[in-house]
Structure 1
Amino acid sequence: MSHMIEVIRRSSSLGPINMSEVLLSLTNSIICTAAFGSKYGGSGDGNTRFQGILGESHEIIIGFGIADFFPSLEWINRVTGFEDKLDKVFHALDSFFEDVIEEHLNPGRPKPEHEDFIDVMLRVQKDVSQAISLTRDHIKAVIMDMFLAGTDTTFATLVWAMTELIRNPRVMKKAREEVWRIVGEKKTVEDEDLHQLNYLKLVLKEVLRLHPPVPLLVPRECNEKCNINGYDVPLKTRLFVNVWAIMRDPQFWENPDEFWPERFTDQQFDFTGQNFQYIPFGSGRRRCPGSFFGMATVELALASLLHSFEWELPAGMRKEDVDMSEALGLALHKKVALRLVASPRVWRKT
């Protein structure tokens, strides 16, 4: 986090900052460090190699594969080269994960201060008392899910959070003053500070309501024929849950298109999916398993941005001029990059 703050501090004298680039780099670094260790969490060759593969993977995921819609026409993917591209990206990811796992298994590897995600899974794999037997393919699959699902969604949420704050100066001021009051004159926000940032948590709840990370949840499939409200749903029907529409439904929300964090003050909504009008991470057994890690990352990053800087729109730009268009992707991204002017906070003793 301190690296991100320093990058913004150096860039602040050069004009408006592309927040999408900064926040994507931050998110990738955090997840790389947690999963692979500090070697891959910086800006070295290992990180650069992985970012390139990750970018190609996202292009494949949001790309059009005709077999997804018409299975009988799967042969067209071979003609267009889509299948070859898919194989190339798969083998690149597999090779990268294989190298990282081998590095973790190397007995001559320097002992890290903290275990990363791969260390934990390799330890579980060796533990014969565990009921689950992990193979190397299992480990690779879990890591791939963690990155493909976690990087994009976390980074998109941070961009939308800064976008809504800059468009709502009252909320920005209130959130910033809370961070300054709780964190005080410390140079960095620490984990223990997050539990006291109650208004910041309300802000993020409202961000997720208006801009859910994945607007259509992971598809479900009916395992039996059923009737819902008079509608016959056949066996094996594929279902898409439109949480974007649910969380803007005026039947459940007052002024649903308004950014108003205070609406959650007396509501006991959380991210566990128990309140079906508010399910940004889904519900039930298929609810996002990385939601708590993702929210901890977003809270720490947003608090750090508010703690270290004051934020403004570029000269001549009004809050009404901020483009709120949404882009197609694995996550709900902002279509037009957010550019802001950062002014390093002036530290004063109170």
Structure 2
Amino acid sequence: MKTHDLNFCYRPQFGSSNDFLYKGSYFITAPYGPYWRFMKKLCVTKLLSSSQLSRFMHIREQELENLLKYLVIFSNENKSTDLCLDLTTYTNNILCLMTMGTTIFDKDIIRCLVREFMHVGAKLSMGEVFGPLGKLDLFGYGKKLRKIVGEFDKILESFLKEHEERINNEDREGDMMDILLEVYRNPNAEVRLTRNDIKAFFLDILLAGTDTSSVAMQWAMAEIINNPIILNKLRAEIESVVGPTRLIRESDVPKMPYLQACVKEVLRLHPPAPFALRQSSDQDCKINGYDVKAHTRTLINVYAIMRDPKSWVNPEEYIPERFLVSGDEINGGDDYEDVNKMDGGDDFRYIPFGFGRRGCPGSSLALRVIHVTIGALIQCFEWKINGGDKVNMEEGSSFSVGLAKPLVCYPVTCFNPFENCL
């Protein structure tokens, strides 16, 4: 992760290349080279920069209000709702609006595109155990994947054309698609992007951002609901910082160390990507006395690292307080001094967003969304579990290991920030 980061900053391709409509264009699995470095620079300086995220804060605020209003209706009618589906719709809407200026998917297409892509992609990857036979698509997963991406391609192409037709509209606020189209049209760009490069990037960001952020929030709600003491402590912090008359905002989060600790602990126990996939470069290397051949595929067990009893006291337990200590200790205590202690850097005990050059470029956006959403859901509602007192914490499958069972809850309004507006 540190000494050999450069040698292992490649990502392997799984399955037959014929299964990938945008062959050679995917940013997430692109080889470490000019194209990947150029796209990473675009993410850091333009697409996912701090200034760009701040420009679209109003989108995140509006979608959060829409989610809360939706839940208030269910509360008033004493109906249960599936938070897994609600949060997936919510994160998808945010990403679509920030990237393309529109919400293009309804709930059925979200399930088809995001969940089916993750499920089928994982099955296709497992086909590698059959060696050369894995290229034959014996179970039809490659065919299913091509169909899903083909449907997405048609939608994306239509939005690319719409953006190109509105390119001279000065009153329109530019989104990520506008930025990439500007690079696409620039003959002097450091790397000339193709149309497939743009579409592949949006497929990457929607799949990576929708499912992972949604799953993280589902786990956060499940852990907090199952721990009433933590829930009450978190609600007390929100009330002390925000007060009883307004909704939590992103600008409040830096003043809420316990909320940040709750999210950190969720990401430790339930990382959005439990395995980091790497492949060594075309040079052999030696690690701790072991010879590693060129092009060796490597899976780093992020899940196990962040539950390692050598690094964490009671690693299987949800204990946000472990991130609220001072000094070098990370496993207990009551001091609220250094909640940001393990945000990246060289501390490889905590790597929920990956590490090194191939670390997640969207982590800042994910944390902005997760923090304020969890804060709002706890601030505005009590949560009653459908069919019991505790959330079923059984883990599911797929690339992002979410809850095996839907998170079906009854929201009970305890603070309605829209009461005077209705």
TM-score, scaled to structure 1: 0.87
Distance 1:129 1:193 in 2: 42
Question: Does 2:405 correspond to 1:341?
Answer: no
Secondary structure of the residue that 1:195 maps to in structure 2?
Answer: helix
Report the CA distance shift for 1:174/1:220 in structure 2 as closer, same or farther (over 3 A).
farther
Question: Does 2:74 correspond to 1:2?
Answer: no
- Match of 1:255, as an amino acid? N
Contact conserved, 2:262 with 2:320, CA < 8 A, in 1?
yes
Distance 1:129 1:34 in 2: 26
Contact conserved, 2:280 with 2:297, CA < 8 A, in 1?
yes
Question: Does 2:83 correspond to 1:23?
Answer: no
Q: Residues 1-350 of structure 1 correspond to what in structure 2 (within 5 A)? A: 1-12=64-75, 13-37=77-101, 39-40=102-103, 52-64=112-124, 67-74=127-134, 76-77=136-137, 80-107=139-166, 114-127=173-186, 130-221=189-280, 223-265=282-324, 266=326, 268-314=340-386, 317-319=388-390, 322-346=391-415
- Post-superposition CA distance 1:23-63 (Å, at most 9, x none): 111111111111121x31685xxx86566444442332122
- Match of 1:7, as an amino acid? Y
> Structure 1 runs of 4+ off > 6 angstroms?
108-112
Contact conserved, 1:28 with 1:41, CA < 8 A, in 2?
no
Give how far 1:75 is off: 5.6
Structure 1: runs of 5+ lacking an equivalent: none
Give how far 1:341 is off: 2.6
Give how far 1:332 is off: 1.3
- Post-superposition CA distance 1:170-220 (Å, at most 9, x none): 111111111122222444322222222221011100001111111111333
Query: Which sits farther off after the overlay, 335-344 or 93-102?
Result: 335-344
Count of aligned pairs between the two proteins: 340
- Match of 1:318, as an amino acid? D
Contact conserved, 2:277 with 2:297, CA < 8 A, in 1?
no
Contact conserved, 2:261 with 2:320, CA < 8 A, in 1?
yes
Give how far 1:86 is off: 3.0
The share of aligned pairs that are identical, in percent, is: 32
Q: Which residue of 1 aligns with 2:21?
A: none
Distance 1:65 1:263 in 2: 36
Secondary structure of the residue that 2:350 maps to in structure 1?
Answer: coil
- Match of 2:123, as an amino acid? G
Distance 1:67 1:313 in 2: 38
Contact conserved, 1:215 with 1:242, CA < 8 A, in 2?
yes
TM-score, scaled to structure 2: 0.73
Query: Which sits farther off after the overlay, 335-344 or 130-139?
Result: 130-139
Structure 2: runs of 5+ lacking an equivalent: 1-63, 331-339, 418-422
Secondary structure of the residue that 2:366 maps to in structure 1?
Answer: helix
Report the CA distance shift for 1:131/1:41 in structure 2 as closer, same or farther (over 3 A).
same
Distance 1:184 1:128 in 2: 53
- Match of 1:31, as an amino acid? L
Distance 2:218 2:99 in 1: 23
Give how far 1:76 is off: 3.2
Distance 1:144 1:269 in 2: 33
Secondary structure of the residue that 2:275 maps to in structure 1?
Answer: coil
Distance 1:325 1:66 in 2: 22
Distance 2:414 2:188 in 1: 53
The RMSD of aligned alpha carbons is 2.6
Contact conserved, 2:114 with 2:211, CA < 8 A, in 1?
no
- Match of 1:4, as an amino acid? L
Contact conserved, 1:50 with 1:96, CA < 8 A, in 2?
no
